[in-house]
Amino acid sequence: MQARLNAKRSFRHGVHPPEQKEATNRQAIRQFPFAPVMVIPLSQHIGKPARAVVREGQEVLRGQLLAEPDGFVSVAMHAPAAGVVKRIALAPYANGKMVESIYLQPFPGAGQE
């Protein structure tokens, strides 16, 4: 029994499921439009939440700094699209808690490049 507990658990040469790409491998890559509102949580990990450097109503460009690190374990956040900061308020996070977030409304036709 002890030998089984100490046995190395792995897959020989990794996992290689069938690719099944026949349905799509000849189709062009498509980009979906942005969501009408993007919610960017200021808390991205176990560290301290970032501090917003934008204000409600401010227009931002794609890649522009939205929030800066505010502690030892913190991270900067940048705009995923050009748009308007609609509000900075609480929003539900993936763990179910409410966290301060930036609500960004992308401009119509905002590019993904």
CATH number for position 85: 2.40.50
The candidate with the shortest Cα–Cα distance to 69, out of 56, 52, 55, 54, is: 52
Q: Which domain holds residue 59?
A: 40-108
Residue 9 is assigned to a structural domain of this protein: no
Residue 14 is assigned to a structural domain of this protein: no
* pLDDT computed for residue 91 by the predictor: 97
* pLDDT computed for residue 31 by the predictor: 82
Residue 33 is assigned to a structural domain of this protein: no
The structural domain count of the chain equals 1
Residue 94 is assigned to a structural domain of this protein: yes
pTM, entire model: 0.74
Task: Put residue 70 in one of left, alpha, beta given phi > 0 → left and psi -120 to 50 → alpha.
Answer: alpha
Can you give the pLDDT of all 113 residues of the chain as single tens digits?
A: 555 555 566 667 777 777 888 888 889 988 888 899 999 999 988 889 999 999 999 999 999 999 999 988 899 999 999 999 999 999 999 889 999 999 999 999 887 76
* pLDDT computed for residue 52 by the predictor: 97
